[in-house]
Amino acid sequence: MRKGGKRKSTSQKQETEVKASSSSQENQKENHKLASKAKRAKSSKPQPQPEYFEDKRNLEDLWKAAFPVGTEWDQLDSVYQFNWNFSNLEEAFEEGGKLYGKKVYLFGCTEPQLVRYKGENKVICIPVVVAVVSPFPPSDKIGINSVQREAEEIVPMKQMKMDWVPYIPLENRDSQVDRLQSQMFILSCTQRRVALKQMNIDRLKKYEYCLPYFYQPLKEDELEQSTEVQIIFPAEQKPVSVDGVFVLRFKAQTKAVSRVFCEFDWELDELDEFTDQLIEADELDKDKKDAFKEFVKEKVREAKKVNRQAREARKKALEEMSEETKAAFENMRFSKFYPIPTPDTPDVSNVKAPFINRYYGKAHEVL
């Protein structure tokens, strides 16, 4: 009896353990199902898509770095309202490009042109970059001239806070500038726009009349010196100080004075006939005839003096110029770059022109 009871007890114990084990396995299966459901529910949530940013090109900001000389300050924002594409300029510096491995000086300018954009004809301020291939800076001066100004000025760049500075490509901007053997230089301007409000109007306007200056002594003989003079008569009366009070040099006039704007060519125009034509056209008062003629004569004398000095300076420069420098001037090349067409920018293909400015003349190639 005792032995049978012992076997029964053992059998009951095993049955209990089996049931406990079975129950434990069922709980584990249930937990696994719940975990799987939770995992599926969690994975069903939308995952954020990874963002991809296009790598910046090595020379992407080159066109912006070159200061747009002669552009009105209030027009600068309109120049940069478009994301202009100058990949043609960038490719010129790559291996096999026109400017690869060469020493290049670049300056910017702008050309207001009527172009079609988004179905409308609009006047757009188009940025342009001029590249000068040269072993030395093409000039350290800036010309200041316009039809509104009585005389042309040629001043040092630094007087207008401009200078040639090395351009550092993006991939090299973590390096020390003095250790880089830069072959690219841009015309930069350090004049801050926030300081313009304190600038007098004449100084402010000078920036708008600036033109990059260039003098080619070897080709002077190919170009005739100008025989024209710009005439603005009468000249503005400049105030002078008398006992601390500013007064006009001449007697004050109660009525507004009409001014004569014209060009006089001392080789093609006869002064008396030229003056009579202005009087007949009611552009000049008859009683101002003699004063006008004396004014023109003085302007002609000044212009002839400038031409004579220029000839003498050129002759001296050629005499002192080394053969190496002469060869550099002979091999200088000007390339003019326009932005290439993109869906987001106006197409300027039909308004490209080789003319740079009155000092540089025409570019050897337009791209």
| Same domain membership, residue 358 and residue 296 | no
| Same domain membership, residue 166 and residue 122 | yes
Q: What is the mean pLDDT of the chain?
A: 76
Query: Which residue matches tokens 């001449």?
Result: 250
Q: Which of 363, 365, 360, 306 is nearest to 138 (CA)?
A: 360
The alpha helices in the chain, defined as continuous H runs, are: 2-43, 62-65, 76-79, 87-92, 201-208, 271-280, 289-320, 323-331
Do 84 and 345 touch, CB atoms closer than 8 A? yes
Residue 215 has pLDDT above 90, yes or no: no
Mean pLDDT of 343-359: 88
Distance, in Å, from the CA atom of 41 to the CA atom of 34, rounded to the nearest integer, reads 10
Q: Which residue, 298, 320, 342, sits at the end of a domain?
A: 320
Range of the domain at 106: 61-217+332-366
Q: How far is CA 247 from CA 243, 252, 256, in A?
A: 10, 9, 17
| Same domain membership, residue 181 and residue 129 | yes
* pLDDT range class, residue 261, cuts 50, 70, 90: confident
Q: How many CB atoms lie within 10 A of CB 66?
A: 27
| Same domain membership, residue 299 and residue 225 | yes
Do 337 and 367 touch, CB atoms closer than 8 A? yes
Residue 1 has pLDDT above 50, yes or no: no
Mean pLDDT of 1-8: 46
pLDDT on residue 354:
92
At 313, which CATH number? Answer: 3.10.20
Among the residue ranges 18-27, 52-61, 248-257, the one predicted with the least confidence is: 248-257
Distance, in Å, from the CA atom of 182 to the CA atom of 62, rounded to the nearest integer, reads 14
Mean pLDDT of 41-56: 56
How much of the chain, in percent, has pLDDT values that exceed 90?
11
Domain assignment present for 252: no
| Same domain membership, residue 225 and residue 137 | no
Cα angle 168, 169, 171; round to 5: 120
- Prior bond of 234 cis (ω within 30°): yes
| Same domain membership, residue 337 and residue 304 | no
Domain assignment present for 86: yes
pLDDT on residue 223:
45
pLDDT on residue 339:
92
How much of the chain, in percent, has pLDDT values that exceed 70?
70
Residue 197 has pLDDT above 70, yes or no: no
| Same domain membership, residue 171 and residue 86 | yes
Local structure of residue 304 (DSSP, 8 states): H
Task: For 110-169, write each residue's pLDDT tens digit.
Answer: 988 888 888 888 888 899 999 999 999 998 988 887 655 556 788 898 988 889 999 888
Task: For 155-167, write each residue's pLDDT tens digit.
Answer: 898 988 889 999 8
Task: For 307-330, write each residue's pLDDT tens digit.
Answer: 788 778 778 878 888 888 888 888
Domain assignment present for 1: no
pLDDT on residue 159:
87
Distance, in Å, from the CA atom of 267 to the CA atom of 271, rounded to the nearest integer, reads 10
| Same domain membership, residue 208 and residue 82 | yes
Domain assignment present for 49: no
| Same domain membership, residue 76 and residue 156 | yes
Domain assignment present for 278: yes
Cα angle 92, 171, 337; round to 5: 25
Do 269 and 294 touch, CB atoms closer than 8 A? no
Under DSSP, is residue 163 helix (H, G, I), strand (E, B) or coil?
A: strand
Domain assignment present for 48: no
| Same domain membership, residue 176 and residue 76 | yes
Q: What's the pTM value of the predicted model, to 2 decimals?
A: 0.63
pLDDT on residue 258:
65
Domain assignment present for 42: no
Among the residue ranges 64-78, 194-208, 344-358, the one predicted with the least confidence is: 194-208
pLDDT on residue 132:
93
Domain assignment present for 53: no
Under DSSP, is residue 314 helix (H, G, I), strand (E, B) or coil?
A: helix
Cβ-count burial of 185 within 10 angstroms (0-12 exposed, 13-18 middle, 19+ buried)?
buried
Residue 39 has pLDDT above 80, yes or no: no
Distance, in Å, from the CA atom of 25 to the CA atom of 321, rounded to the nearest integer, reads 101
| Same domain membership, residue 213 and residue 180 | yes
pLDDT on residue 50:
58
Higher pLDDT, 340 or 145: 340
Do 125 and 110 touch, CB atoms closer than 8 A? yes
Cα angle 194, 196, 202; round to 5: 175
| Same domain membership, residue 279 and residue 137 | no
Q: How far is CA 102 from CA 41, 57, 361, in A?
A: 63, 20, 22
Handedness of CA 170, 59, 187, 184 (dihedral sign): positive
Residue 63 has pLDDT above 50, yes or no: yes
Cα angle 216, 145, 125; round to 5: 95
pLDDT on residue 67:
85
Q: Give the total number of structural domains in the chain.
A: 2
